[in-house]
Amino acid sequence: MKNEFDRRAFMRISAMSIGAGALLQFSPLAATARGNAMSRLFHKQNGEGPGAFSIVQLSDTHVGFQGPPDPLGTKAFERAVDVINALDPQPDLILFTGDLTHDSDDPAEHARRFKTFRSISDRLRVKKRMHVPGEHDAALDGGVLFRENFGETHYSFDHRGAHFVALDNVSMGKPIVGDEQIAWLKKDLARFPKTAPIVVFTHRPPFDLKPDWEWFTSDGDAVMNVLAPYDNVTVLYGHIHRENHHTTGHVQHHAARSLIFAFPDPSTAEKKPLPFNPQQPFRNLGIRTVSGNTAARPFVAGIDDVELSIRELSGTEGIQQMLKQGESL
Amino acid sequence: MKRTFVLIILIAVAQLGLSQEPAPRVVEITAKRFEFNPKQVTLKRGERVTIRLVSTDRAHGFLVKPLGLDLDADDGKPSEKTITPDTAGSFPAICDHYCGSGHANMKMTVIVE
């Protein structure tokens, strides 16, 4: 397929790099009567006919965050940009699932952090990039700075035969989507057949993963009720700074790792960031690939995870490799 | 006539007494960035209790899902809910209204015994 990633090339790059988040691959709709009908529907509505597509998910870059447990600041994010830019062919879409920035009580400082995020992400060769806010981006100002930089906090679009929905479950301060947005979601999806491939991307898990750690969305059940009639729904989210896979009904949820530091498994007693290891500065940051075929029923995503290392760069691992000449922590 | 009047009064007083439950104990919790005060409260199983959340600076939440508590308070706008806990245990309470970079540490414990 012309637009499909060379997965081996990606794995080769990622194996010697830090995590670039999640890579999704979908095949075009099969040439069945249902696939043709779907193709006509998407094409008629917005000119986006089905086709192979490949996307990368990045999450929780927390630009502006300094200090323990990760003293490296934006270095993981910058490295991820280099990794993605080295992909051949390039992905055609990048999704950012929130906490692009770390908040500040000073709005001017927070605005500078958004600017830094953009200066780094603008280095990506992939120009089609979509964002949803995390609570660190939008909870203190109701999403004002996010909108100034990226537009609305919830929206939808079609991309090569799949319908993408950006859901905001942070900007009201609480972990909530809200009645208004849920009504919008219902209306937005109503024009699609129940078999349409739908990708929802959001920040917090829209289900009770661990409410004591604020890993939930309080009206997530209402969101799931809207999604329930649709057969092929994938939810991509961030927030929890670790990989996680979960199923509610026939909806598949996948959390991406962060590009700042990792949280422990939710089965542990305490939500304490995993300690930074200078000998393995990007430990617990990794790459996940997700592949599937939207024509398959039921749709089942194939997941690949890569243990990350930068050893191949110089034969050793360590923080010194990430520092520029004369730079110290 | 007089005896009937006294009887009516007695019945009315008795009914009034029967219809009035004792007022629930009020437990007040103060929220400010990034802490609750007190850090721990103890409730009794089967006891009606009103949890009142008071904020002294900005919007905060108070979430204890197993006890059905999901309160929101802002400066000058307290909120409360009356519950009767029926399960003993130690329950973490968190602020679930994002309030700044120390928000993740804003938690306390509710014990039901």
Q: Is A28 touching B (CB cutoff 8 A)?
A: no
Find out whether the peptide bond into B38 is cis, omega within 30 degrees of 0. yes
pLDDT band of A1, cuts 50, 70, 90 = very low
Distance from CA of B24 to the nearest CA of A (A): 27
pLDDT band of A24, cuts 50, 70, 90 = low
CA distance A327 to A320: 9
Residue A23 bridge partners (DSSP): A56, A289
Q: Is B85 touching A (CB cutoff 8 A)?
A: no
pLDDT band of A239, cuts 50, 70, 90 = very high
Helices (H), A16-134: 33-46, 75-85, 107-121
- Could you say which residues from 42 to 81 on chain B have a Cβ atom under 8 Å away from some Cβ of chain A? 59, 61, 63, 65, 70, 72
Which residues does A76 contact at the CB level (< 8 Å), separation at least 6? A18, A19, A61, A70, A259, A260, A282, A285
Residues in chain A: 329
Q: ipTM value of the model?
A: 0.81
Q: Is A103 touching B (CB cutoff 8 A)?
A: yes
pLDDT of residue A2: 36
pLDDT above 90 for A50: no
pLDDT above 60 for A139: yes
Q: What count of CB pairs under 8 Å joins A to B?
A: 33
pLDDT band of B112, cuts 50, 70, 90 = very high
Under a CB-based contact definition with an 8 Å cutoff, are residues A20 and A10 in contact?
no
Report the chain A residue with the minimal C-alpha distance to residue B59: A173
Q: Is A135 touching B (CB cutoff 8 A)?
A: yes
- In whole angstroms, how far apart are CA A25 and each of A53, A54, A55, A290, B12? 6, 4, 7, 6, 76
pLDDT band of A264, cuts 50, 70, 90 = very high
- For range A19-38, the mean pLDDT: 52
Which of A103, A139, A212 has the CB atom closest to B94's CB atom?
A212
Tell me the HSE value of A257 on the side-chain side, using a 13 A CA sphere: 29
Report the chain A residue with the minimal C-alpha distance to residue B104: A213
DSSP line for B57-70 = SS-EEEEEGGGTEE
Q: Which amino acid is at A186?
A: K
pTM of the shown model: 0.85
Q: Is A218 touching B (CB cutoff 8 A)?
A: yes
